[in-house]
Amino acid sequence: MPWEIAVALGALQGVTEFLPISSSGHLILVERLLGAKPPGLAWEVALHVGTLGAVLAVYGREVLALLGAALDGPRRWRSAPGDRLVALVVASLPAAAAALLLEDFVGGPRFTLRWLGLCWVISGLLVAAFTRRPGRGQALTLRRAVGMGLAQGLAVLPGISRSGATIAVGMGMGLEPGECARFSFLLSVPAVVGAMVFTGADLAAQGAPPVGTLVLGAAVSGLTGYAALRLLLRLLTGGRLWWWGAYTIVLGTAVWALGAGG
């Protein structure tokens, strides 16, 4: 793969993974409109390694605290990191179930451009409706964690932004915006690691392309993802995240019309 394509794929993944516009939706749109082939399992793993690195760069201390609580076992599960760990485990279950149930539909021909457009509109409405308000400053509870976990399960559908849906639902349930973002991206870690494990198992049987382009793509994905994540946090605290909801509503409407016309 030429290095220019590696850079482009890495940048696309990094930007769309964290801004509430759906990375999977944009990749499918590019693939179907331009007739481009999917980058392959090796690239999926490499680009997710990059964006996972961006999350760890911002929330590394929280991840270490969670790992410490997990290693210490049940005696620390009533601590603050322990409570958050339990919430993460419970909230991760809906996405795992949705991925198994919807795998054939999402990856098959039945997921048309009309479905993609509809999902973008739904995602945009969630973001536009709930991120304009600053939230009620309430703390994370298991009920709110489960609500965000259900939103992450819905985001298995391309076009539904994982970050947008989880943050919007959290804020709609009264959670403080900064805590919404923190829990949303901590919630992404087990989802990304799980996806990497499954695709990595398939990749082992297929072989991998040259390591150099994979490293380049992962590095660009991580750097652009870090910048996009920092931008999202600034937009969230400024009450401007809804702009991206408006973008996906317009984009989704156009894609739905394109699918209806085709």
**What whole-number distance in Å separates Cα of residue 58 and Cα of residue 107?**
32
Res. 70: pLDDT tops 80: no
**Of 238 and 127, more confident:** 127
| In contact, 224 and 77? CB cutoff 8 Å | no
pLDDT, tens only, 132-167: 876 677 888 899 999 999 999 999 999 999 999 999
- For the ranges 16-30, 60-74, 157-171, 239-253, the lowest mean pLDDT is seen at 60-74
Q: What is the domain partition of the chain in residue ranges?
A: 3-261
Res. 262: pLDDT tops 60: no
Indicate the pTM of the whole model.
0.89
**Of 48 and 74, more confident:** 48
- For the ranges 61-65, 122-126, 204-208, the lowest mean pLDDT is seen at 204-208
| In contact, 9 and 47? CB cutoff 8 Å | yes
**CB atoms near residue 36 (< 10 Å):** 11
Question: Phi, psi at residue 134, to the nearest 5°?
Answer: -75, 0
- For the ranges 29-33, 70-74, 110-114, 155-159, the lowest mean pLDDT is seen at 70-74
Res. 255: pLDDT tops 80: yes
Tokens of 135: 């939230």
pLDDT, tens only, 179-213: 999 999 999 888 888 777 776 666 655 555 667 78
pLDDT, tens only, 36-56: 666 666 777 788 889 999 999
Res. 2: pLDDT tops 80: no
Res. 77: pLDDT tops 60: no
Res. 72: pLDDT tops 70: yes
66, 65, 75, 88: which is closest to 142 by C-alpha? 88
Q: Is 138 helix (H, G, I), strand (E, B) or coil?
A: strand
Q: Is 36 helix (H, G, I), strand (E, B) or coil?
A: coil
